[in-house]
Structure 1
Amino acid sequence: MTTERPLAFDTLAIHAGTAPDPATGARQVPIYQTTAYVFRDADHAAKLFNLQEVGYIYSRLTNPTVSALANRVCALEGGAGAICCSSGHAAQIMALFPLMGPGRNIIASTRLYGGTVTQFSQTIKRFGWSAKFVDFDDLAALEAAIDGDTRAVFCETIANPGGYITDLDAVAAVADRAGIPLIVDNTTATPYLCRPIEHGATLVVHSATKYLTGNGTVTGGVVVDSGKFDWSASDKFPSLSQPEPAYHGLTFHPTLGAMAYTFHSIAIGLRDLGMTMNPQGAHYTLMGIETLGLRMQRHVENAGKVAEWLEKHPKVKAVTYAGLPSSPYADRVPRITPKGAGALFTFQLKGGYDACVKLIDSLKLFSHVANLGDTRSLVIHSASTTHRQLTEEQQIKAGAAPDVVRLSIGIEDVSDIIADLEQALAQV
C-alpha cells in the first residue's frame, strides 16, 4: 500500500489551501468581497450557529478568501488549523485570548519587537493580564519565572531587531515541563527558514504584513495551532476544557480535539474581538506567498554578503547577523534555521546616536520606514522610532541601543545595496 507523497515547500506555497473556484473554475483564489452568506434554510442556519456544521455565516468570522490564506499558512507551518486576523499585533492578542484570564501571566523573551514589549508590558494589563520578561538564554531563569498563574511562554524565532536566534527546542522543553504552551512569533524567519512546531511550539504567530506578503501593501496576522497540546490535561485552560455558556455548554477540546483551539478562536475570538482580516488583504498575501521561497533565498543571500561587508568597515563597531561565524548564535543556525539566518539584523556605529541619524539621512536606495520583510531594503533607527517608548535599559536588552541601526535587506542586486551603504557611511 503506497502513501501519498508529501508536497515540497515551494509547491505548497502555490497550491496549499486552494483549488479552482467550484462555481466558475477560476484558477486564482477569488476575492469574496461579501459581508454575509445566504443560508440554505432555517435548519442550515441553526446548525452553523451551533457549530454543528462548518460553513460561512458572516465575514467577521470566516470568509472563503481569508480561509484559503489560513489553510495555506497552516500547511506551510505543518499545523492542524489556523486563523487570520487584521495585523500581527492582533494575532498576538488572538493567540493569548483563549488561554488567559484576569490575574494570569505570560513569560516573554527580552528580545522582542518594541511594539510587542509595549503590548505585553502595558496594554494587556487592561485585561488583567501581565508579562514577565526573561533572557531566554538563561533557561534556569525562564523556569524560575513560571508560576501557578503562567499560561504561556512567548518568543520570536529570529528576534526583531537584532536577528538573535532563539533556541526553540530548549525553550519548548521548559514550557513542556510546566505544562504550558510555547507561542513563537515566526514573522522574521517565515516557515521557509523555520517551522517552530517541529521544535516544540504549540502556537505560531505571524505578522503577514512582512515576508509572507513581501511587498509592503497590506497589514495582516495569522495564528497557527499545532493541534498537539492537551488543553484538558489540567484546569489551566477552562475556555477550551470547560463548557462554553455561549454554545449551550459545548466543551471545545473534548468535542473538537485537534481543531478545538482554531474553532474557539473563530467562534469566540473573532466573533467578540472582531479583529478580522479583509479579503483583499488576504488575496495580496496569497499571491505574495507564491514566491516566498524564491524571495527568502535572495533575502538571505544578500543579507550574508552585506553583513560580511559591514563587519569589515572601519566605522562599524559590531554586526549582529547570526549568519556570521563571529556571532555567538552561529551554532543555532544549522539547528533552528538551516536555510539561513534571515535578512534582519543590526549594526553598531562607532559614532553613536548622531552617526546613526546621519547615516539614515544619507542613504538613497534604502527606504527609511517602520516595516521589515519588504522586497526593498529598509532601514530604521529603532531607539528613536519602534523602540522609542522603552527605557534605554530595555532598548539595550532588546538589541535596540541608541548606537544601533536596523537593516531589513531586500532582494535588489547586492552590489547596489552595498554601494548605498558605502556612500552613506562615507558621510558619517
Structure 2
Amino acid sequence: MSDGPGYGFDTLQVHAGARPDPTTGARQTPIYQSTAFVFRDADHAAALFNLQEVGFIYSRLTNPTVAVLQERIATLEGGVGAVCCSSGHAAQIMALFPLMGPGRNVVASSRLYGGTITQFSQTIKRFGWSAKFVDFDDLDAVKAAIDDDTRAVFCESIANPGGYITDIPAVAAVADAAGVPLIADNTSATPYLCRPIELGATLVVHSTTKYLTGNGTVTGGAVVDSGRFDWRASDKFPSLSAPEPAYHGMTFAETFGPLAFTFHSIAVGLRDLGMTMNPQGAHYTLMGIETLSLRMQRHVENAVKVASWLENDPRVDFVTYAGLPSSPYHDRIASVCPKGAGGLFTFALKGGYEACVRFVDAVELFSHVANLGDARSLVIHSASTTHRQLTPEQQKAAGAAPNVVRVSIGIEDADDLIADLDQALAKATA
C-alpha cells in the first residue's frame, strides 16, 4: 500500500511499510531470519557498499523484517526515516552518535528515566561527552545551559516516572534558536498520544520494548528522523556535513538530503556500534503496533479512573498524573497529548519509604517489575530500583523520591486494579 497522508492512524498502524510477500503471498510480514543476503552480481554488491543503491547486505545493517518496522514507526511519527536498534538505551546513543564529539554536551531535562540520567551523567563521559541537567519548566534555565559546545537538547514527551508532560513546542523553539536539534523520547506517549515532530522536535527516540510492542516479550529501540534539520547550517555537525573518509569523501547531508541522519545511522552507526535489532524482535513489535491505538485508549481510560481514586484516598499523599485536573501539567494535554496523558504516573504514600516497600510486596494483580507499557499493570518503587544510583536530590528532581511508587496502568478491568491497590494500601499502612 501507499503510506499516503490520506490514511488514518488506525490504518497506518496495521499497514504502513508492509506489503504481501512477493514470493509466497504471505500477508503477515515474514521473519527474515537470515544473517546475509545474496547479491545479484559484483556490480550490485559494489553499489550497495558504496551507498549508491538501497538494499540488504548483512543483518547488522539492514534486514527486511526490521525495515518494515522502521518504515511503520517513521510513518506513525511523521518522520522521513527511522533506524531500529537493540534497546531504548541503544537508541539514545544512536541518536547522539552523529551529533556529539569529545568535549561536546547535551542539555537534558532533569525529569528523565533513572537509567537515562545514569547513562548521560556517567557512561557517556567515556566518549568525552557530558550532560547538563535542567528543569525544562524553566525555559530561561534551558537557554542559559546551552553553550558553544552543546550539540543537542533532550527531553521525554511524557516523563518517566512521574508522567509529567513537557512543553515540547516551547523547548523546540529554544533549541531552534540555538541551532541545535531537539531529541524527544516518545516512549511513554507513543505517536498515538503525542507527535513530537509536528511540535518541533528534530529526532524522536523510543524504547520499543514498552507501549509499541505492548506485550513484554522483546527489547528494542528506534530513532526517527524528521528530515527537517539543516545539518549544513553550521560547522557543528561534521559527521553529517563534512566529507566522510570511510565513503571516499561523500557528504551525507549533500548526498541524502533530508535522509542524511537516517543513512548515517545505518551506514556508520549500526555498522560500527552494532546495536542491531533482531528480526524476530521486530516481528513481535510489528504485531504489537497493530493494536497500538486500541491499547492506548484503554491505558488512558484506566489511568484516569485509577488516578482519580488514588487522589481521593486518605492513605495517599499526592498523585502526579497529568490527566487529573489538579495537575499543574493538565493544561498541556490539549496541545502536546490531545488524546490523553498516557498510562504512567506516580503516587506518594504517607508512610514513606517503608510503606512503599510493603506496598509493592503486597500487590497481587499488579506485577512488581522493572518495565512499563505492558498490557498488564505494573508497579515499581523507583528509589530502591530504577533510580537507586541517583542522589536523593536527583531522585526528587526526577520525580522518584523515596516515598513515591510508579505505576504503569494496563488494559485490565479498572475496578479490579483499584481493588488490588486498595488491599495493598491496607497492608502497607496497617
Q: TM-score range by the shorter chain?
A: over 0.9
Alpha carbons of structure 1 residues 416 and 387: separation in structure 2 relative to 1, 3 Å: same
Aligned to 1:186: 186
**Which residues of 2 match residues 122-137 of structure 1 at below 5 A?**
122-137=122-137
Q: C-alpha deviations, 1:357-388, integer Å up to 9, x for none? A: 11111110000000000000000000000000
Q: C-alpha deviations, 1:285-327, integer Å up to 9, x for none? A: 0000000000000000000000000000010000000000000
- Separation in structure 2 between the aligned mates of residue 102 and residue 357 of structure 1, nearest angstrom: 41
SS in 2 for 1:196: coil
Aligned to 1:328: 328
Aligned to 2:389: 389
Aligned to 2:27: 27
Aligned to 1:101: 101
Aligned to 1:303: 303
Aligned to 1:61: 61
Q: Give the letter for the 1:266 counterpart.
A: I
SS in 2 for 1:154: strand
- Separation in structure 2 between the aligned mates of residue 377 and residue 45 of structure 1, nearest angstrom: 48
Aligned to 2:316: 316
Aligned to 1:352: 352
Aligned to 2:111: 111
Aligned to 1:209: 209
Is 1:376 matched with 2:353? no
Displacement after TM superposition at 1:5 (Å)? 5.6
Q: Give the letter for the 2:284 counterpart.
A: Y
- Separation in structure 2 between the aligned mates of residue 5 and residue 384 of structure 1, nearest angstrom: 46
Aligned to 2:76: 76
- Separation in structure 2 between the aligned mates of residue 426 and residue 149 of structure 1, nearest angstrom: 52
Q: Give the letter for the 1:270 counterpart.
A: L
Displacement after TM superposition at 1:426 (Å)? 1.2
SS in 2 for 1:390: coil
Is 1:18 matched with 2:18? yes
SS in 2 for 1:107: strand
Q: Give the letter for the 1:190 counterpart.
A: T
Aligned to 2:410: 410
SS in 2 for 1:348: strand
Displacement after TM superposition at 1:72 (Å)? 0.2
SS in 2 for 1:197: coil
Q: C-alpha deviations, 1:61-107, integer Å up to 9, x for none? A: 00000000000000000000100000000000000000010000000
Displacement after TM superposition at 1:406 (Å)? 0.2
SS in 2 for 1:82: strand
Q: Give the letter for the 2:274 counterpart.
A: G
- Separation in structure 2 between the aligned mates of residue 361 and residue 234 of structure 1, nearest angstrom: 54
- Separation in structure 2 between the aligned mates of residue 60 and residue 175 of structure 1, nearest angstrom: 33
Q: Give the letter for the 2:35 counterpart.
A: T
Q: Give the letter for the 1:320 counterpart.
A: T
Aligned to 2:167: 167
Aligned to 2:367: 367
Aligned to 2:401: 401
SS in 2 for 1:152: strand
- Separation in structure 2 between the aligned mates of residue 5 and residue 94 of structure 1, nearest angstrom: 28
Aligned to 1:286: 286
Q: Which runs of 5+ in 2 are unaligned?
A: none
Aligned to 2:264: 264
Q: C-alpha deviations, 1:373-428, integer Å up to 9, x for none? A: 00000000000000000000000000000000000000000010000001111112
Is 1:51 matched with 2:20? no
Q: Give the letter for the 1:51 counterpart.
A: L
Cα RMSD for the two superposed structures = 0.8
- Separation in structure 2 between the aligned mates of residue 194 and residue 122 of structure 1, nearest angstrom: 29
Aligned to 1:245: 245
- Separation in structure 2 between the aligned mates of residue 77 and residue 209 of structure 1, nearest angstrom: 17
Q: Give the letter for the 1:181 counterpart.
A: P
Displacement after TM superposition at 1:6 (Å)? 1.4
- The alignment's TM-score, normalised by the length of structure 1, stands at 0.99
Q: Give the letter for the 1:127 counterpart.
A: F
Q: Give the letter for the 2:145 counterpart.
A: A
Displacement after TM superposition at 1:263 (Å)? 0.4
SS in 1 for 2:125: helix
Q: Give the letter for the 1:406 counterpart.
A: R
Displacement after TM superposition at 1:23 (Å)? 1.3
- Separation in structure 1 between the aligned mates of residue 191 and residue 44 of structure 2, nearest angstrom: 37
SS in 1 for 2:197: helix
- Separation in structure 2 between the aligned mates of residue 82 and residue 147 of structure 1, nearest angstrom: 29
Is 1:197 matched with 2:188? no
Q: Give the letter for the 2:426 counterpart.
A: A
Aligned to 1:39: 39
SS in 1 for 2:71: helix
- Separation in structure 1 between the aligned mates of residue 188 and residue 410 of structure 2, nearest angstrom: 13
Runs of 4 or more above 4 Å deviation: none
Q: Percent identity?
A: 79
Q: Which runs of 5+ in 1 are unaligned?
A: none
SS in 2 for 1:170: helix
Q: Give the letter for the 1:84 counterpart.
A: C
